[in-house]
Amino acid sequence: MRYIIFLFTFLFIFSCKNTTTSDSKTSKETSETDIDNTEADNDSDLSAISTKDFREFKVLDSKNLTKSEIWSEINPQLEDFTEAEYERLKPLILEQDIPALQKHIADGTFNYQELTKFYLYRIRKFDRENPLSLNSVIAINPNAIKEAQKLDNNYNSGAIHPIYGMPILLKDNINASGMATTAGAVALKDNTVDDAFIVKQLKSKGALILGKANLSEWAYFFCGDCPSGYSAIGGQTLNPYGRRIIDTGGSSSGSGVAASANFAAATIGSETAGSILSPASQNSVVGLKPTIGLVSRSGIVPISSTLDTAGPITRNVMDNAIVMDAIFGEDQSDEKSFMIMWESGFYTKDLKSTSLKGKRFGAPKRFLEDTLYANALSVLKQQGAEIVEIEEGKLELPNFIRLLNLDMKKDLPVYMDNYANKDISLRTVSDVIDFNLKDSLKVMPYGQKLFQGIADDTGDTNYLERIKDTLSTNGKQYFDIPMKAHNLDGFLSINNRHAAFAAVAEYPALTVPMGYTGEGVPKGLTFIGRRLQEKQLLEWAYVYEQASKARVAPKDYN
């Protein structure tokens, strides 16, 4: 994820910080804020990127974007969509999976244009400048309704991908035509661009780009002293399970919140080390961080060309498989992309008939005191899985932050030169730092500590390669050693607790709703597998999801 995230707590990055934040006080759930059992970045100030005790938000609504600006072009196109029509469609659309939506389309119950208008009406109704506002959407595709009408005109139920006509929200570090790609930063507010490769993949299968989701600014590798979900452009994203109380996770905060609040059929996030897993877990939805290189990164504002990836965030596993099936593919402009010969339908094929019988999963002993985790293990056992309690290795991830520093220092100029709007003169991290200093209160109210750390890092290419080698080796060994010793099929974690290890190993990870704490904070059961085991992760998570039925939609948004 370019995208890094609030690799929450974890050790190194942006945490999904299970801190609960209100206007006057904050309490921490220590079970969610441990740093795992690694020392990690020995020479970095981890306090800058780990969970913090925020007593209040400095900013809620954006000082750089208004609701009227977002909706000015769409409002006239929504005049014929009434509250009565919204109420008619609501039980047919809310919490329904993509196959159910497609069946309604096939039956003539509603069409793609009506589906699109429903989501737009709902976003406008709930998302900004009202008592339930979530600030999860940062831009709307001005052509969404017209594009939906074209999809209706070209509809052929026998020859479409399941993603056809489904309104999708993109994290706002992903280039898409018709809207600026800002990464939440005022410096990029005029960054109108062509579609990223992943967007072309979606459109080639008929997906409809509904708009852009807010994010933790610069994928949460910017401020160091700010809450997850904040960006100067988008304001403060809030969690629908507890506005101003429960953390959103980051950095794909808007994508996680929008998926949970039923603002789109599905959303796309991005991750460097926890930025999909964290907000998906915190908002009780399903998030998949793919093997690095399986999904293109071209045209996505970067953090790290070593670790970044995009991935789907959805309300259920079936939809996640459908979106994954639509976005994977070789991109020759992406140095890590590779050819894979899987045909369309690979990730959804036989998903409903899969079994956990005889599957062996490693469960860290230190998590067993977590009631939700223990209950999840019981569900897996009831489905035929074997749970092996394991002691985790004592491996470290030295210089993790410096990897991100040195990658972003070189990767941001590459994005600006090849994928950004040519009228933007800024090219480097230092350029952005200088730009922000001109209006710090409006542009960077929490400072730019991590960006300054990037600018100050003097490591060279040889040093970067040594860091990569060490981290890759340690990350793989962290999972491979217990998997080999205990003949494990997969590894079971909580939220994004092992996101950094999965990141440097370049292994896939998928989180699925596991339930809620006594305070109502969502948690996710996270499956981690070996390289290119996305299909297996989806199968395991599907069985668990169907058996547990753990997700409950946020009650104030029904």
Mean pLDDT by 10 residues, the chain (558 residues): 38 36 31 31 40 69 94 97 98 98 98 98 96 97 98 91 98 98 98 98 98 98 93 97 94 98 98 97 98 98 98 98 98 95 93 97 98 98 98 96 98 98 98 97 96 97 98 98 98 97 98 97 98 98 98 95
What pLDDT does 309 receive?
Answer: 98
Return d(Cα 58, Cα 78) in angstroms, integer. 34
Q: Is 231 known to be catalytic?
A: no
What pLDDT does 172 receive?
Answer: 98
Instruction: Tell me which of 171, 212, 289, 359 is the catalytic residue.
Output: 171
Closest-CA residue to 228 (of 434, 5, 402): 5
Return d(Cα 67, Cα 150) in angstroms, integer. 27
Element (H, E) at 474: helix 461-485
Are the beta carbons of 114 and 152 closer than 8 angstroms?
Answer: no
Instruction: Tell me which of 15, 44, 136, 275 is the catalytic residue.
Output: 275
Looking at 185-321, which runs of residues are DSSP E strands? 208-213, 230-231, 235-236, 266-271, 286-289, 309-314
Return d(Cα 360, Cα 354) in angstroms, integer. 15
List phi, psi (to 5°) of 62. -60, 140
Report the b/e string of 492-523 with b at 16+ CB within 10 A. Answer: bbbbbbbbbbbbbbbbbbbbbbbbbbeeebbb
The pair of three-digit structure tokens given for residue 515, joined into one six-digit string: 């339930």
Question: Strands 167-171 and 266-271: what pairing?
Answer: parallel
Give me the count of residues in the chain: 558
Return d(Cα 294, Cα 534) in angstroms, integer. 10
Q: Is 275 known to be catalytic?
A: yes
Instruction: Tell me which of 228, 251, 270, 305 is the catalytic residue.
Output: 251
Closest-CA residue to 528 (of 505, 556, 557, 553): 505
Return d(Cα 154, Cα 257) in angstroms, integer. 31
- Quickly count: other Cβ atoms within 10 Å of residue 29's Cβ: 18
Q: Is 394 known to be catalytic?
A: no
What pLDDT does 199 receive?
Answer: 98
CA-based max dimension of the chain: 63
Residues 429, 435, 436, 439: what is their CA dihedral angle, to the nearest 10 degrees?
180
3-state helix, strand, coil in the chain (%, to 5): 40, 15, 50
pTM of the complete model: 0.92
Are the beta carbons of 297 and 272 closer than 8 angstroms?
Answer: no
Residue type, 124: R
DSSP state of 535: H
**Rounded to 5 degrees, what angle do the CA atoms 226, 229, 232 make?**
70
Sign, CA dihedral 306-230-50-405, equals positive
Return d(Cα 180, Cα 192) in angstroms, integer. 4
The pair of three-digit structure tokens given for residue 290, joined into one six-digit string: 């793919």
3-class secondary structure for 416-443? HHHCCCCCCCCCCHHHHHHHHHHHHHHH
List phi, psi (to 5°) of 170. -105, 140
Residues in CB range of 441: below 8 A, 6 or more apart = none
